[in-house]
Chains A and B, each alone.
Chain A
């Protein structure tokens, strides 16, 4: 194992690098989906990635916990370089929470069981402690009263909040959000965004793929525009929205903000 891996992320200095992506290339067959991506995310930074669909945003995000593998380049998460070594991959995944567009709650388990599954089986936490932890996070996302229900009984917004709580139960240092509000009915987008804003206040490192520009303006430290598998622009929200440097950013913002 990498010697940097021994260093507990909690003890690392506040401005250590949370995610480092170096010259990352990925192909789907002949299609060059990620082209020379270079990105450093500092600990506690909140990054929103936007851009036209098919631009490689989700693929990039999914490389951070290696749900996707790549052909060239390096990805280092919390000082652990992701390789084919399954041990490293599992270590990184336990430290990186992910929220999906389609929620992906486990339909055969109750809300509470969804949240305790990974702490019990991947962190070997006693069931009682895991349940206490789960209830803590379910309360934080304001859904503790639904703990005994099955996910199918919940609305989309509630399901997504449970998914956030489920990820938080692993006490991750980094959270990935893959279009967390895209599959929601309009009246439920706000409750999920509010939850994410509250989370941003905790100083957790967040990488968010989203088209919610209001959210980006409110919480992002940097906003990234991705198009054609490349990072086109990285900027603070003020500059990104007020004075975009790149023609493609301007075009994209025009389309999305009407």
Chain B
């Protein structure tokens, strides 16, 4: 390999592939490339460090170092000579935890809710774990068996010895999970149908879909819930009207479906026209073309947006309190008003606990979506 004066030369033999140059070790490279690579970057890094130094210690002190971990009433969490500045009152959360989870569900029947949680966890795992065995059976389980089982367990069936627990006693995390799951599970297929209708060739269908989507999107969820719970009895005799919780569930599902429809529509528009044509040229019917060729691609394109909508829906479930349903946040709210626990820091602790719960759930959804995205990207799409 000899270079000639003007720099160009003809290679004599074949060049053997060489291993890549060894990069600098991890932490140094990180410091150099990501934290201190330019004056602006250095300034930003220092700013962030200062911000953390200012904000983190008091938070850690309040929630952990000064926190009260046990006690049976408010006195444990009040300021005392021994503890002039008490931190978070975790004792409050510990005492009320079962109420946060089950609401007023009768003590003796709470095992039924636990069974429901377990059945739901199995279903979610089976459906969401992409390499789980027999996911087709998993889908049947999730969409057919689980709803029936949940109804029998939670509502009760005197025939098989489970006493009926009216939904007015339901509450807490358990109700939040029920509302969110039903909302997500129903809004997705409903949203897909609405999106297809909106892109249909039939003007009547298109008009109906557009009207529904625009009206529902143009109205706050609270209004939809009020309409479902307060106005329905004006048209339907009270004894024929569905249960209060069911009304709220329908309201939430329809509301979410309108948002989902727009998200899915975006995905449908992202599938190239050639895909529709190829499917049609092969003689696939409309539904097969959509189900086998277009929707799988559309839903992949739009997966981040779908998850975004699901996260929004999950947090929106907190609004069902306006129709007197005791979701998780409402139970926290009720507990902090209990005179036995009235203390300045119980309210903060209760809400912090609620925030933690919602964050954990939403972040889990977000993480899952990211895993699926990477997997699909590796799966060899264009």
Which chain A residues have a beta carbon within 8 Å of chain B's beta carbons? 65, 67, 90-91, 93-98, 100, 102, 104-108, 117-118, 121-122, 149-153, 166-167, 170
Number of A-B residue pairs, CB cutoff 8 Å, is: 73
B292 near A170: Cβ-Cβ < 8 Å: no
Q: A107-B297, A108-B296, A121-B288 are in contact. Are A93 and B274 (CB under 8 A)?
A: no
Nearest B residue to A92, CB-CB: B283
B293 near A106: Cβ-Cβ < 8 Å: yes
Which residues of B sit under 8 angstroms from A100, Cβ to Cβ?
A: 274, 277-278, 281
A98, A102, A117, A150: the one within 8 Å of B381 (CB): A150
Which residues of A sit under 8 angstroms from B297, Cβ to Cβ?
A: 106-108
Asked if B81 is at the interface (CB within 8 A of a chain A CB), the reply is no
A122 near B288: Cβ-Cβ < 8 Å: yes
Asked if B280 is at the interface (CB within 8 A of a chain A CB), the reply is yes
A107 near B282: Cβ-Cβ < 8 Å: no
Asked if B380 is at the interface (CB within 8 A of a chain A CB), the reply is yes
Which residues of B sit under 8 angstroms from A150, Cβ to Cβ?
A: 379-381
A90 near B382: Cβ-Cβ < 8 Å: no
A104 near B277: Cβ-Cβ < 8 Å: yes
B278 near A104: Cβ-Cβ < 8 Å: yes
Q: A100-B274, A107-B382, A121-B292 are in contact. Are A67 and B283 (CB under 8 A)?
A: no
Shortest beta-carbon distance from B287 to chain A in Å: 10
Asked if B108 is at the interface (CB within 8 A of a chain A CB), the reply is no
Shortest beta-carbon distance from A209 to chain B in Å: 14
Task: Identify 12 new A-B residue pairs, CB closer than 8 A, beyond the known A67-B281, A107-B381.
Answer: A93-B283, A100-B274, A100-B278, A102-B272, A104-B272, A104-B274, A106-B278, A108-B379, A122-B285, A122-B288, A149-B380, A153-B380
B284 near A121: Cβ-Cβ < 8 Å: yes
Question: Which B247-304 residues have a C-beta within 8 angstroms of A?
Answer: 272, 274-275, 277-285, 288, 292-293, 296-297, 300
Q: A104-B275, A108-B297 are in contact. Are A122 and B282 (CB under 8 A)?
A: yes
A98 to B280, CA, bound (A): 10
B381 near A94: Cβ-Cβ < 8 Å: no
Which residues of B sit under 8 angstroms from A122, Cβ to Cβ?
A: 282-285, 288
Which residues of B sit under 8 angstroms from A151, Cβ to Cβ?
A: 380
A65 to B281, CA, bound (A): 7
A245 to B110, CA, bound (A): 91
Which residues of A sit under 8 angstroms from B288, Cβ to Cβ?
A: 121-122
Which residues of B sit under 8 angstroms from A166, Cβ to Cβ?
A: 282
Residue interface bits B113-127, CB-to-A below 8 A is 1, else 0? 000000000000000
Which residues of A sit under 8 angstroms from B285, Cβ to Cβ?
A: 90, 122
Which residues of A sit under 8 angstroms from B293, Cβ to Cβ?
A: 106, 117
Nearest A residue to B287, CB-CB: A121
Identify 30 residue pairs between A and B in the complex whose beta-carbon atoms are under 8 Å apart, listed by A's number: A65-B281, A67-B277, A90-B283, A93-B280, A94-B282, A94-B283, A95-B283, A97-B281, A98-B278, A100-B278, A102-B272, A102-B274, A104-B272, A105-B278, A106-B278, A106-B293, A107-B297, A107-B380, A108-B296, A108-B379, A108-B381, A118-B282, A121-B288, A121-B292, A122-B288, A149-B380, A150-B379, A150-B380, A152-B380, A152-B382
Shortest beta-carbon distance from B266 to chain A in Å: 18
Question: Which B328-382 residues have a C-beta within 8 angstroms of A?
Answer: 379-382
B277 near A170: Cβ-Cβ < 8 Å: no
Which residues of B sit under 8 angstroms from A106, Cβ to Cβ?
A: 275, 278-279, 293, 297
Nearest A residue to B293, CB-CB: A106
Which residues of A sit under 8 angstroms from B274, Cβ to Cβ?
A: 100, 102, 104
Shortest beta-carbon distance from B202 to chain A in Å: 13
Shortest beta-carbon distance from B292 to chain A in Å: 6
Residue picked from A98, A104, A117, A152, most chain B C-beta under 10 Å: A104
In the A-B complex, list the 4 residue pairs whose CB atoms are closest, starting with the nearest.
Answer: A150-B380, A94-B283, A104-B278, A118-B282
Which residues of B sit under 8 angstroms from A105, Cβ to Cβ?
A: 278
A108 near B300: Cβ-Cβ < 8 Å: yes
Which residues of B sit under 8 angstroms from A90, Cβ to Cβ?
A: 283, 285
Which residues of B sit under 8 angstroms from A96, Cβ to Cβ?
A: 281
Question: Which B32-62 residues have a C-beta within 8 angstroms of A?
Answer: none
Shortest beta-carbon distance from B82 to chain A in Å: 65
